[in-house]
Structure 1
């Protein structure tokens, strides 16, 4: 007959994978492109390959999305407007618009309308549909950060 300790150990070993799958962190990034040109892309910390809509396993820190392959837009949205975001279960997920043009700030400028909303637990968001976007960061000290506190929150980004 198995000892009490053996039964508990076996139970924990069987339950651990189930508990880990429940706690697995993932964040979805989706796009809508109404511009009729370009390709929605994003980069994030730890992955320098621009990609389209996908689901990331784990935290997604330092994300930046832009409409690539059109006009003068370069990697990371240089010469165009961009949406910056971080998606994580610890703390808050957050997003903002960047139109920072100063030296070393990416030369981001308004070239198309942008909008975003959080998905999978929150639905708040914002839009930037004019060159003088009122809440966009034009330098690192101004602008509005939008937040979501839901676990596994994602973001949907729209261009034009």
Structure 2
């Protein structure tokens, strides 16, 4: 084998893992619960099991977080307020508050203060500290989306 072929093959063997690692996508979800009771949980598309803080490998689409075991809160934040989010590379990650209470919308309503901020590349976010929760979605057509364009960004959600 000519020496230039050996050098090229060795270079490919050494750099391939680095290139693969650079493309790996992961997103961290963390919580703080200052309410004195309840368990912070979230679901997302492709995984219907409520879970606590974790890191997801790949895109995290259609996430919804709420405070479980709190008053009348049910799965997906039914009967309570919730934070909805999507975390992905190559585009915008986004998050919002949902207080969509109409028929077929999850009966989300203000029950406790909520806030979120993006982590690992962005630090912007929002707070919902009152029943009318400025910027919250009250139906699918209104409300404010908060965005982050950093790859591998995560979200930190706080209740109370």
Same fold (TM over 0.5): yes
1:66 is paired with a residue whose SS is strand
**2-side partners of 1:120 and 1:7: how far apart?**
37
**How far apart are residue 57 of structure 1 and its match?**
0.9
The Cα offsets for residues 29-66 of structure 1, whole Å up to 9 and x where unpaired, read as: 00000000100000011011100001111111100000
**2-side partners of 1:74 and 1:117: how far apart?**
24
**How far apart are residue 4 of structure 1 and its match?**
3.3
**1-side partners of 2:137 and 2:146: how far apart?**
12
Confirm whether residue 11 of structure 1 aligns to residue 11 of structure 2: yes
Instruction: Please list every run of 5 or more consecutive structure 1 residues that lacks an aligned counterpart in the other structure.
Output: none
**How far apart are residue 22 of structure 1 and its match?**
2.0
Deviation larger for 149-158 or 18-27: 18-27
**2-side partners of 1:5 and 1:74: how far apart?**
62
Partner of 1:94: 94
1:141 is paired with a residue whose SS is coil
Equivalent residues, number: 160
Partner of 1:124: 124
**1-side partners of 2:3 and 2:45: how far apart?**
49
Regions of 4+ moved over 3 Å: 3-7
2:85 is paired with a residue whose SS is strand
Normalising by structure 2, what TM-score? 0.96
Q: CA RMSD in A?
A: 1.2
Instruction: Please list every run of 5 or more consecutive structure 2 residues that lacks an aligned counterpart in the other structure.
Output: none
The Cα offsets for residues 85-141 of structure 1, whole Å up to 9 and x where unpaired, read as: 000111101000000011111110000000000011111000000000110000000
**1-side partners of 2:93 and 2:150: how far apart?**
8
The Cα offsets for residues 134-160 of structure 1, whole Å up to 9 and x where unpaired, read as: 100000000000000111111000001
Partner of 2:104: 104
